[in-house]
Amino acid sequence: MLRYAAFAVVGFVVLLLVLGALPQSKKAKDRQVIDLCWQDQGRKSLDPGAARFAAGACEMLEQRFRETHGTAP
């Protein structure tokens, strides 16, 4: 019985490693870029003009995402 549990654990770990090695989809990468853009835009060290410029860039990325993937990010 212990042998089967050990095989199950090893199999589960191998499955996680294989799934983690699979490349992300284009859609997932695009979402991640948008999230990072908004994080950068929210930095307190940006002056108001730079923050507005960054917000415009993030909005442009969101619009491209909608046009490319047909859904909101």
Comparing 21 with 60, the larger pLDDT belongs to 60
pLDDT greater than 60 at residue 15: no
Integer Cα distance of 1 and 6 in angstroms: 9
pLDDT greater than 90 at residue 68: yes
The verdict on residue 18 lying in a domain is: no
Structural domains in the chain (count): 1
The verdict on residue 41 lying in a domain is: yes
The verdict on residue 62 lying in a domain is: yes
Comparing 22 with 44, the larger pLDDT belongs to 44
The verdict on residue 34 lying in a domain is: yes
Q: The domain containing residue 72 runs over which residues? A: 24-73
Please name the amino acid found at residue 41.
Answer: Q
pLDDT of residue 53: 92
The verdict on residue 55 lying in a domain is: yes
Please name the amino acid found at residue 27.
Answer: K
- The enclosing H or E element of 7 equals helix 2-21
The verdict on residue 5 lying in a domain is: no
